[in-house]
Homo-oligomer: A and B are copies of this chain.
């Protein structure tokens, strides 16, 4: 069975919090991990239902919250509309170029930008904990 590491992370998190195990959470986790996309709760719900049609949307929301808390997933908020979730564990930090035409995400990192953010925060005597950088524009494909 794949995704052993990720499953262990969730199991440990659940145990540590005094929670109990459930098949639904496992189904949701595995479905989430199988897709490398930036999914909304609704989109993930649709996918999980193929494997387990009895599942409820509330459980998907509850599980996504656990995945974020345990470090397996992280939120992505663009404009209005639903929050999207992406893999976090085992993925390097990255920022996103978002195509305003087709909605495509391009994942990017620039170590220099990361460093300059630290410098910028330090100048304000601000303890930087994290950041979200979204860059909007037109992707290569959409430029034609």
Q: Which residues of A contact B (CB under 8 A)?
A: 77, 79-80, 83, 97, 99-100, 106, 108, 110, 112-113, 116-117, 119-121, 123-140, 143
Contact = CB atoms under 8 A, between A and B. Distances in A.
Q: What copy number does this chain have within its complex?
A: 2
A110 B112 CA distance: 12
Contacts of A112: 112, 116
Contacts of A83: 80
Contacts of A79: 77
Nearest to A131: B135
A94 to B, nearest CB: 11
Nearest to A83: B80
A120 to B, nearest CB: 5
Given A77-B77, A124-B108, A129 B116 contact: no
A79 to B, nearest CB: 7
